[in-house]
Amino acid sequence: MDKTLHHPDRDQIELAAVLDALSDPIRLQIVQRLAKAGEASCSSFLDYGTKTNLTYHLKRLREAGVTRARAEGAFRYISLRNEDLEARFPGVLAAILANIQDAA
């Protein structure tokens, strides 16, 4: 059974939803890792918590329009929606990522 995941269209991404999704430290770490890696399988984030907890965080990021998930066989791969976020809110993601890196 193929379950299609909801991704908001570019024009449906709201700044409040993006900022809310990025308000959690685990989700910020996920976004930081994706910014460096480009794309990663869901299982590569298991060091951030249990599978159930990770599923929750990845869903929050996807539904806010921060990430995109694609299925390949039995695996799901996650990537940042850099172009969409930059088009909607120029400089916001870059500023957040710079702040994370400065704090690290």
Query: Of 47, 40, 88, nearest to 65 (Cα)?
Result: 88
State residue 75's pLDDT score: 87
Q: Does the pLDDT value for residue 4 go beyond 70?
A: yes
Greater confidence (87 vs 104) lies with 87
Q: How high does pLDDT run on average in the chain?
A: 90
Domains of the chain (ranges, CATH numbers): 13-99 (1.10.10.10)
Reported as a single tens digit per residue, the pLDDT across 17-38 is 999 999 999 999 999 999 999 9
State residue 3's pLDDT score: 66
- Give the C-alpha separation, 93 to 27, whole Å: 13
- For residue 44, the 8-state DSSP code is G
Does this model's pTM top 0.85? My answer is yes
Number of H helices, E strands in the chain: 5, 3
- Give the C-alpha separation, 47 to 30, whole Å: 10
**Number of residues in the chain:** 104
Reported as a single tens digit per residue, the pLDDT across 36-72 is 999 999 889 989 988 999 999 999 999 999 999 998 8
